Amino acid sequence: MVFSKDERAQPRCSSHLARRHNVRSIRMTNLGRNQRRLWVLEEMQDLGAAYNLPCAVLVEGTLDFETLSRCVRLLFDRHEALRTIFFDEQGMPGQRIVDVPEVALELEEVSGSTLDERLSAARLRLNQWCSQPFDLRSEIPFRVGLFRLDETSHILTMVMHHIVSDAWSINVLLRDLWTSYAAFAAREEPALPPLTMCYSDFAEWQRSSATEDAIEKQVQYWKEALGDAPTGLELPTDQVRPAVQSYRGAVHRFTFPAELIARVNRLAREENVTTFMYFLTVFSIVLSRWSGQEDVVIGSPTAGRVRREFEDLVGFFVNMLPLRLRPSSNQSFRELLANTRKIALEAYANQDVPFDVLVDAMQPARDFSRHPVFQATFALQSIADDIVALPNLTLQPFDLHTGAAKFDIAFTMTTTSADASGEIEYAADLFSPNAIELLAGHLLTLTERLTERHDDPIHQISMLGEQENAARADRELPWSLDSRLLFDRAEVETDLISRFDAQVARFPAALAIADDEVSLTYRELQSGTKRIATELAGRMQCGRIALLFKHGALMTAAMLGVLRAGGSYVPLDPNHPMDRLRFIIAETQPDRLLTDIQCVEIATELLPNHVDVIDDGNIVVKAQTQEHVQRDPASIAYILYTSGTTGAPNGVIQNDGNVLHFISAYTNALKLTSNDRLSLFPPYTFDASVMDVYGALLNGASLYVRDLRIGVLGIDTWLQENEISVWHSTPTVFRQVVGNFAGLAPRCIRLVVLGGEEVLPSDLSLFNEKFTKECILVNGFGPTESTVTTQYFFPNGKTVPTGRVPIGNPTDLTEIILLDSSGNPGELQGEIAICSDHIALGYFNKPHLNDARFLSSKGRRIYRTGDFGRWRVDGKLEFLGRRDHQVKVRGFRVELGEIEANLLALPEVEQAVVLAIVGVGGDKELVAYIVGRASTANLSSQLQKALPDYMLPTAYVLLESLPITPNGKVDRRALPPPPKRSFDNRYVEPPTTFEQEVAKIWAEVLGVPRIGYDADFFQSGGHSLKAMQVVARIHNAFGIALPLLTIFSNPVLRHFCAAILEVDSTVSTDLDEARRKVLSMSDVEVRALLQQMRTS
């Protein structure tokens, strides 16, 4: 409703206390647009103290309590905003200006034996005092108290709700208070500026047609400026973002050196920018590096007091401007400053659009986990050295915090004539104190370095400190590396066969490899390799030999035999499609194709007349005395084909030196010895097999082969029977196998090495639960192009990290570089690039792809992985997934692994995979595939508590088991399509009487003829005020008091009705029963019932 002028008592305002002795009656006014948004937020959820504005002043000297109380009375009388309570009628909010007959300044004694103790106690008490939320419906949104430290030390504290105040208003109150105090102390009347308007006049001014016309023109500017802006600032968080923002916050304060601020001010003048613009640009660069985005939107407050008459009022005038900055790493800081100046000036010219109007116009996807449009803010404020000059009193600001945060990150700079300080208020649910301390350090360091290098591309200017670089290099192994390495560096400079033969000499009778049919000692395996090498002697031209074997020991013998003959092998999987096998044969043009009896038919079809068959009956026959052809570290060992981004596979070329380097790093980090027994699950065409085969055979250990194609059942027993000490697995197989353990895992397992897929916190919890205290889990990362790259060690019993599980630190002689979107080295987040002398030689016969993925810099080779990661505060690398696992849903970037992790955290879910499919109309739809005892209704209900709306699957498919590739990963291509359902906008009538009644309420509020069952309230023209009206009408119709958040969380009619029934499941039944009764009545009975209702 709109309150007319007739409903207001006149006169509204007066400029002097003496004219205000007569108490005025209550009057009602409309909310300002700024107030309306806050009111809706307060109605939707418990904001706690998020919008409390505290202010505290340390007063030293002789303070007259009675005079101060008189000044507080003056504040109440002078500023009607302080005497406001709020209400709504039929969903329309309003405010009442009330009288406060008695104003008592609270006085509280602070105890402590020393002044420092009392100051500490006061800070704790004041933070608590200021954190008490206001009940806007029943109490005035302003509190003031005096806290006494001793006779001459007091802390005056005020706290107001933002709905009636802003930072400017605090300064107005402090000026009025202390000006009045000085006047009353001198027995004079305060000379305060006259108030010719009230806040309600500002609200009316906002509603005027002239203002609305001007605002509409400015809205168009903002639509163009923000039209394709990112929906969120994807800062790396320490905890998973909750589904609904809690507003729980903390603050970190730091100081800028005075000399640095002087330099900044001088350079800002030279560049014709303000200090605000200068630091805004620095902040945007830091946020860009933290988020990996070169397009960031930062909110910045503007006073909003566009008329002189508003400057001395207390009220919620401040407006937030979304400033969109694009800090490209290729630009210089000087260029970025010029861009910031242009953007800021354009924003100031269009600053009259209230932020809630902008949100309604932009219609961003509703996400209760974060602030709309922007999640980071920047403000710069200057304060005088003293608030007011007072006789016998000195005043100093006293820092407080309410323990709340409205945004993810709010950076405020405060300058005085002597120094400058920074304050970062942050969401405590997202960031750790260490992370924010690091962010502050980056701001300081980058500000310092940018003042010296205005003209250099900003990607050349680091914001990292020495300690961060050191932490990233610290491998933090679970055991100390003594001077005697198990795999000496000098041995990397030999060749694979020389290292293998050395193990044969040491352990000739030890078991080398075993599968379900064949067991070979080291001497027997060596004999087999020599026989194969003899067969190949003189029959190789290009030196490439294709290998096609079933998963077992013969493939290993063939690999080593080819190497002994001086060749390189190309492993093929007989279970792969023939088209793929033909492609590899056609591209590599091998001299021969070695195979076993089971695969000879496929081999003959692939390479007729060039096939040699090897079987376990002749593999250990005594070979001729030919020694291996001399190899060196540069000799090509194998060409291993991986899936290519274009559809065709890519052949990765590795030499002996690279493989020896990988196994050296693997051996020394994991302490592999001849006493170990390693598992081999992945096929030989998968690079993970390199770690197992050579990790065992180049260290005198035993390798046990098992084919995953026979399934995971029985692996638990197999691990125990073969006394496996190093179990290498994908997380998918790990979960299934450990889920089958009747009790604890076999005690023989000392290492669990996981890789190939993302390891989840739930995997670490399962490891802690099922394995011995001596066991260690290793989360490894390494693409085929650099098999062993990083490792993260997790000893059993260690606290499971929140959020993602890190992939650790790089191995020896390896460096990780994170590249930004321009391909320049980043510092915190970006595409993972591996810098090492031991990355692959390239892709076979793919020169253009090699140029794009294999780079060189300063004499070192670099491989771009296409995977994304970020450095954590503790110096560990965190895997953020591939771009093909990151999808955009309703404009938000969604990591499918995060949804899967939340599903796996539910006790009824054993396995989970989430896919993004294209729905009707081209929109992305999320589908969850579940193994477990879950019901789809319960899954949906549980996820709603943990994930924002855009991350909720639209369909669930329950399966007996997930399909697995031979590599041990989930076979996503083999997942069945979800059941078909309609995503179109055709009208569907609500099925029940109750739902039809709710639809009627929606239609009346929205002003449309009818509303369908699948209609979205906000897409049908709804907004926050109309949502409040719906909730009010639901209460009138059914007597159900719904939280306003219900309609925002359930904007589709069918979901909204279901949410109502969760609150009161009897409403639908009661309503339908009443309908049936009325329909069965005669006309006389109906008239009698109506008459009874009128008179009751």
Give the contacts of 715 (CB within 8 A, at least 6 positions apart).
706, 733, 737, 740
User: Which has more pLDDT, 144 or 980?
Assistant: 144
How many CA atoms lie less than 13 Å away from 253 in the CB half-sphere? Answer: 7
1015 pLDDT band, cuts 50/70/90, is confident
Q: Which residue has the tokens 């006293």?
A: 398
Q: Is 28 exposed, middle or buried (0-12, 13-18, 19+ CB in 10 A)?
A: middle
For the segment 606-627, the average pLDDT, to the nearest whole number, is 73
Give the long-range contacts of residues 197-200, CB within 8 A, separation 24 or more. 197/13, 197/309, 197/310, 197/313, 198/12, 198/13, 198/80, 198/313, 199/32, 199/80, 199/81, 199/164, 199/313, 199/314, 199/315, 199/316, 200/8, 200/12, 200/29, 200/30, 200/80, 200/97
What CATH number was assigned to the domain covering residues 657-884?
A: 3.40.50.12780
CB atoms < 10 A from the CB of 455, how many?
A: 8
Task: State yes or no: pLDDT of 1072 exceeds 60.
Answer: no
Options 1.10.1200.10, 1.10.150.120, 3.90.226.10, 1.10.3720.10; CATH of 993-1078: 1.10.1200.10
pLDDT of 1024 reads 75
For the segment 145-156, the average pLDDT, to the nearest whole number, is 94
pLDDT of 14 reads 29
> Is 3.40.50.980 the CATH number for 496-631?
yes
CA distance 826 to 832: 10
* CATH class of the region 888-959: alpha beta
Are the C-beta atoms of 687 and 787 separated by less than 8 Å?
Answer: yes
Residue 924 CA: distances (Å) to CA of 587, 913, 918, 920, 956 = 37, 16, 5, 9, 15
The 3-class SS string of 729-744 reads ECHHHHHHHHHCCCCC
Task: State yes or no: pLDDT of 415 exceeds 50.
Answer: yes
Least confident segment among 84-88, 133-137, 219-223, 945-949: 945-949
CA distance 503 to 698: 7
What CATH number was assigned to the domain covering residues 225-389+403-463?
A: 3.30.559.30
Task: State yes or no: pLDDT of 16 exceeds 50.
Answer: no
- DSSP conformation letters of 102-134: ----EEEE---SSHHHHHHHHHHHHHHHHTSPP
Phi and psi dihedrals of 1012, rounded to 5? -85, 170
Give the contacts of 128 (CB within 8 A, at least 6 positions apart).
none
Residue 541 CA: distances (Å) to CA of 11, 308, 566, 848 = 104, 90, 11, 26
CA distance 730 to 968: 6
Q: Tell me, which fold does domain 27-202 have in CATH?
A: Chloramphenicol Acetyltransferase (3.30.559)
pLDDT of 225 reads 94
Mean pLDDT value across the chain: 86
The Cα angle at residue 334 between residues 332 and 340, in degrees rounded to 5: 105
User: Which has more pLDDT, 1030 or 951?
Assistant: 1030
Phi and psi dihedrals of 563, rounded to 5? -65, -40
Are the C-beta atoms of 640 and 785 separated by less than 8 Å?
Answer: no
pLDDT of 877 reads 93
CA distance 476 to 878: 15
Least confident segment among 5-14, 745-754, 854-863, 957-966: 5-14
pLDDT of 647 reads 59
Write out pLDDT tens, residues 859-898: 789 999 988 999 988 889 999 877 656 666 766 677 788 8
pLDDT of 1039 reads 86
Write out pLDDT tens, residues 71-110: 999 999 999 999 999 988 877 888 999 887 677 788 999 9
Are the C-beta atoms of 790 and 780 separated by less than 8 Å?
Answer: yes
Same fold, 27-202 and 993-1078: no
The Cα angle at residue 625 between residues 620 and 626, in degrees rounded to 5: 105
984 pLDDT band, cuts 50/70/90, is very low
For the segment 631-651, the average pLDDT, to the nearest whole number, is 84
CA distance 594 to 567: 13
149 pLDDT band, cuts 50/70/90, is very high
Name the strand (E) or helix (H) holding 66. helix 65-78
β-partners of residue 19 are none
Domain boundaries, the chain: 27-202, 225-389+403-463, 496-631, 657-884, 888-959, 993-1078
Are the C-beta atoms of 547 and 558 separated by less than 8 Å?
Answer: yes
CA distance 337 to 318: 25
- DSSP conformation letters of 27-52: EEEPPPHHHHHHHHHHHHS--TTTTE
Are the C-beta atoms of 409 and 222 separated by less than 8 Å?
Answer: no
pLDDT of 954 reads 79
DSSP 459: G
Q: Say which amino acid occupies 814.
A: T
CB atoms < 10 A from the CB of 146, how many?
A: 18
For the segment 189-214, the average pLDDT, to the nearest whole number, is 85
